[in-house]
Structure 1
């Protein structure tokens, strides 16, 4: 029995004990608004939220509408509603924004309730032009140590930046002071980061398998041709991806760019890894019975297996953890990344 199945069965057993409470106390209303921390209806946050919302709505016999309002408005909306009428789904940006001191972000562990995790996007990555002299992350860190200025395009303050912070951390550990040669090129969307590479304004960019794999198939003399140098996902996460991978990139191809084959040292014999996890966020005063109701319903949904196919087909890794387990997991990630950000001298609250 794998870990995911054990987690699901444990959640079902635990929530079964709470069934009388759920039946007697407050439950989710008939119509629920699910706000997401993204303004896009075509991105990975919306895709995840839509898949989960459909499955949860069907299981509970209610209506759930996904509303792409962006992080600031999403936090405001869920912060105003303790009845369960408004729920939120977002990813690690929710706590990374606070660690990086981004305006409008609060400590989610103090200001909100953490709900269950639902999936992982294993695609977070870093790329270089196909004709770049940097063939690997080892080359990039060695260049910084030799005094070369390496420009890295990121969207500051969250998921896009955390891998860059890890690069600086590894550079500093290998040769103190060399981290200053890793220079951020602060951009906006993925298309902005791509354009920085096309225009030779950056040597490395943060990207994703989903967005950038297409560019790796171009011939080397094409201005848009790219090459992966690092995929931040844990190898055990990538091994759950379809063997065929995405596009022309198989799962085995992906693993070559992930730890341990591609190493960005974190110290104590460990590599830095980062899984982009999607999870629910609730009003801090929401009735525990509703929390239990959602945990139980999702445990049954994931045990059924249909949602796993939908998520996997969209190149997401199913990752259900009930609320208590999810909070502990995310708090551990938060604490690790807080240490990295703090030790390289970047903003942290």
Structure 2
């Protein structure tokens, strides 16, 4: 009998319903540790990892523990374990940290094996005080072109900085030289960035829909009130979010702050966009059968559909690509952002 891709997937799916993938048959360890690039057990990395780990553990019939050890320790743990008992969940910070030269960030594409993508957090955003004279990104670029210094609070070296780099790049493309007037205020956590705004040390801050939406709902007279000016996610990503959005900010509201309604140009013709994308990383010498088992299990999990509902309930956008497709996609993404960073660094 000849199997098409669809009938083969259906056959595998039926087998999965009958019983989880047996750990012995797949050469899998009974206990697996999923280290994450964050030390927080309340943040989006832990939350997303927990959803995926629970589904994978059930499907594979093994135990998977999420361990919030942070980026540096996570990479070390992954590099030490060739047996496949340690895998890692992280996001674009893994390669952005390397591109920005942050200590402890090796090239994940060279030193590890990039695995499947699982979800996007579409919430990366930039905000201004509610009483700011800047009503839009157009106002910000116009101010920089007119010689006004625009201070942007970021946490340097990754997801927080890439949007700032894109702002400088867009200013350079629009009016060469004006990028010098968009300056970084280097801070730490989200609370530090918020405080920089409230202390009038920053005109714009990097934030997120999840962390900052509450402040956009305050009365404009409140000293902590904020407004969104830019959400970096692709419109195709935001369109998959619940129509109600989050808090008092609907999906339609979010789309108005994203491309193409809000334009931060990449090269004068195309807009810069950035999705914060979560994916697995493996030790490059790990048994390929284990990776195949994880890819197969995730294919089944996402074909069943329950995980997507859990992710959307937590304001994640489901984004599964198996390892090979994910590597190709993320390599292109890395190369695009590398060019933007190199252009700003070189002043070209």
Shorter-normalised TM range: over 0.9
CA distance in 1 between counterparts of 2:46 and 2:9 reads 27
Shift of 1:11: 10
In 2, are the aligned partners of 1:82 and 1:286 still within 8 Å (CA)? yes
Equivalences for residues 42-61 of structure 1 within 5 A: 42-61=42-61
Shift of residue 174, structure 1, vs aligned partner: 1.2
Contact 2:174–2:268 under 8 Å retained in 1: no
Aligned CA distance change for structure 1 residues 141 and 331 (closer, same or farther; 3 Å): same
Q: Distance in 2 between matches of 1:122 and 1:230?
A: 12
Highest RCO, 1 vs 2 (Cα 8 Å, sep ≥ 6)? 1
Identify unmatched segments of 5+ residues in structure 2: 14-21
Aligned twin of 1:287:
287
In structure 2, relative to structure 1, the CA distance for the partners of 1:121 and 1:268 (3 Å cut) is same
Partners of 2:37 and 2:72 within 8 A in 1:
yes
The number of residue pairs the alignment matches comes to 336
Give the SS at the match of 1:153.
strand
Instruction: Give distance in 1, aligned partners of 2:208 and 2:70.
Output: 20
Unaligned runs of 5+ in 1: 1-7, 17-21
Task: Give the match's secondary structure for 2:153.
Answer: strand
Equivalents in 1 of 2:346, 2:156: separation in Å?
11
- Structure 2 counterparts to residues 1-349 of structure 1, below 5 A: 12=9, 27-267=27-267, 269-345=269-345
1:163-189 CA deviation, whole Å, 9 max, x = no partner? 000000010111111101001000000
Partner Cα separation in structure 2 for residue 154 and residue 38 of structure 1: 17
In 1, the alpha carbon distance for the partners of 2:202 and 2:35 equals 34
Displacement of 1:216 after TM fit? 0.3
**Residue 19 of structure 1: aligned partner:** none
Give RMSD over aligned pairs: 2.1
The separation in 2 between residues aligned to 1:191 and 1:298, in whole angstroms, is 35
When residues 297 and 45 of structure 1 are mapped into structure 2, their CA distance, relative to the original with a 3 A threshold, is same
What is the CA–CA distance in structure 2 between the aligned matches of 1:9 and 1:71, rounded to whole Å?
38
Instruction: Report the Cα distance in structure 2 between the residues aligned to 1:327 and 1:92, rounded to whole angstroms.
Output: 12
CA contact (8 A) 1:34 1:87 kept: yes
Change in CA separation of 1:270 and 1:11 when aligned onto 2, cut-off 3 Å: farther
TM-score, reference length from structure 1: 0.93
Shift of 1:201: 0.6
1:28 to partner: Cα distance: 2.1
Q: Which TM-score applies when normalising by structure 2?
A: 0.93
Runs ≥4 residues deviating over 4 A: 8-13, 22-26
